[in-house]
Amino acid sequence: MSGFLAVLVVVLIFIVIFQIAKASEYVSILKGEKKARQQSNRINGFLLIAFLVLGLIGVYYCNDLLKGKILGESASVQGEGVDTLIYVTLAITGVVFVITQIALFAFAFKYQEKEGQKAFYFPHNNKLEVIWTVIPAIALTVLVAFGLKHWFQLTSDAPADAAVVEVTGKQFNWLIRYPGKDGQLGRKATNLIDPAASNEIGVDWNDPLSKDDFQATEVHLVVGKPVKFVIGSRDVIHDVGLPHFRLKMDAVPGIPTTLWFTPKFTTKQMKEKTGNPDFTYEISCDQMCGSGHYSMRGVIVVETQEEYDAWVAKQPTQYSLAHPDAAPAAPAADAKADSTKTVAANIK
């Protein structure tokens, strides 16, 4: 019933608007085309300048309202460069935005049709055109130069001492594997995947490197220590999105990808910094991957070396979980020993 009433109200509003519009058309015919045009010109000219002023105020107000809700300072060293570049770009595009919008609406208002006013025949002017070809070209060169400098830093090889974490996407969660104390991930193959036998990733247990690998439900990282993510997928394309660290990388079946960064703050520090006791570093899936895409959430815990070591010590190796009869569940690693000399992962 209320739905029906709502529709009725909308239809009534439509009819009222339409009747007004029709009446105003008759009025304008009675008044004569010229006079009607002058009147609507004045109204729309005023609205254009009002839109400009209120719009610019709105831009400011919107920023005031929402600036506290974006992420704040980058939580990774690499993300600082991204943020700097955003600020530089914001400054340049912001100035252009304000100038061009003001020019557009102010000119429209100022040069609206008036009695006796003649338009100025001005078909071209080479000097002006050269100016506004060259200036944007220079500004863009600056942005490209800055951008590529950061781009090559972001995509450079991870330092040799970076920790390695393998992140594998599947519908609809992330599988996380650590290389254990040897610092190298065991070989894996799609046809070895067997969820029933605790082998979601398809690790080849015949590879000696796989024996000390362990899996986790959360990613744990050491603050201030570079980490390299080895990223893959076992079904469709996913994407490891790390908004707080300003990074992102697709997880593509069949094609391993990597990214690396250095976390700057522990989760605990971020809770204090943001004043939000529920603060969590999250991995979001940023590539449409099916009906559960929106729920593909991973958690990253950044902590101190001591906390990390204590956590690692508690993780059973995946080999022991997959072979419950073969050996008692042994702690994965004496992490302290290897954490400083971990080498790049054996991706294959």
Partner 1 sequence: MSNEATLHSQQEVMHGAGAHDHHDHEHHDSFISKYVFSMDHKMIAKQFLITGIIWAIIGAFFSVLFRLQLGYPDATFPWLESILGHWAKGGRITPEAYYALVTMHGTILVFFVLTAGLSGTFSNLLIPLQVGARDMASPFMNCLSYWFFFLASMVMMASLFVQTGPASGGWTMYPPLSALGDASIGSKIGVDLWLTSMALFVVSQLLGGLNYISTILNMRTKGMSMTKMPLTIWSFFFTAVLGVLSFPVLLSGFILLLMDRHAGTSFYLSDIFIAGKALANEGGSAILYQHLFWFLGHPEVYIIILPAMGMVSEVLAISSRKPIFGYLAMIGSLFAICILAFLVWAHHMFVTGLNPFLGAFFVLLTLLIAVPSAIKVFNWITTIWKGNIRFTPASLFSIGFVSTFISGGLTGIWLGNSSIDIHLHDTYFVIAHFHIVMGVSAFFGMFAGIYHWFPKMYGRFMNNTLGYIHFWVTLIGAYLIFWPMHYEGMAGMPRRYFDYSTWASFNQFEGLNQFISFVVILVFATQLLFVFNFFYSIFKGRKMTTQNPWKATSLEWTTPIHAGHGNWPGEIPEVHRWAYDYSKDGRDFIPQTEPLGPNESAH
Could you say which residues in the range 74-103 bind partner 1, by CB under 8 A? 79, 81-82, 85-86, 89-90, 92-93, 96-97, 100-101, 103
CB atoms within 10 A of CB 78: 21
x/- string (CB under 8 A) for partner 1, residues 229-258? -----xxxx-x-x-xx-xxxxx-xxxx-xx
CB closer to partner 1 out of 8 and 96: 96
Q: Nearest distance from residue 83's CB to partner 1, in Å? A: 8
Under rule CB under 8 A, which residues in 262-281 are in contact with partner 1? Answer: 276, 278-280
Q: Determine which residue in the list 292, 313, 324, 327 makes contact with partner 1, applying CB under 8 A.
A: 292
How many residues bind to partner 1 according to rule CB under 8 A? 122
Task: State yes or no: residue 5 binds partner 1 (CB under 8 A).
Answer: no
Which burial class, exposed, middle or buried, applies to 196 when counting CB atoms under 10 A from its CB (0-12, 13-18, 19+)?
exposed
Distance linking the first and last C-alpha atoms of the chain = 64
Q: Which residues of 283-311 are buried (b: 16+ CB within 10 A; e: fewer)?
A: bebbbebeeebeebebebbbbeeebbbee
Q: Determine which residue in the list 284, 304, 305, 346 makes contact with partner 1, applying CB under 8 A.
A: 284
Q: Please give the single-letter amino acid code of residue 9.
A: V
Task: State yes or no: residue 217 binds partner 1 (CB under 8 A).
Answer: no
Task: State yes or no: residue 221 binds partner 1 (CB under 8 A).
Answer: no
Instruction: Tell me the sheet residues that pair with 146.
Output: none
CB closer to partner 1 out of 171 and 269: 171
Under rule CB under 8 A, which residues in 131-160 are in contact with partner 1? Answer: 132-133, 136-137, 140, 143-144, 147-148, 150-152, 154-155
**Distance (Å, whole) CA 318 – CA 326:** 12
Q: Please give the single-letter amino acid code of residue 35.
A: K
CB atoms within 10 A of CB 114: 12
Going by C-alpha positions, the residue among 326, 311, 322, 303 that lies closest to residue 178 is 311
Task: State yes or no: residue 34 binds partner 1 (CB under 8 A).
Answer: no
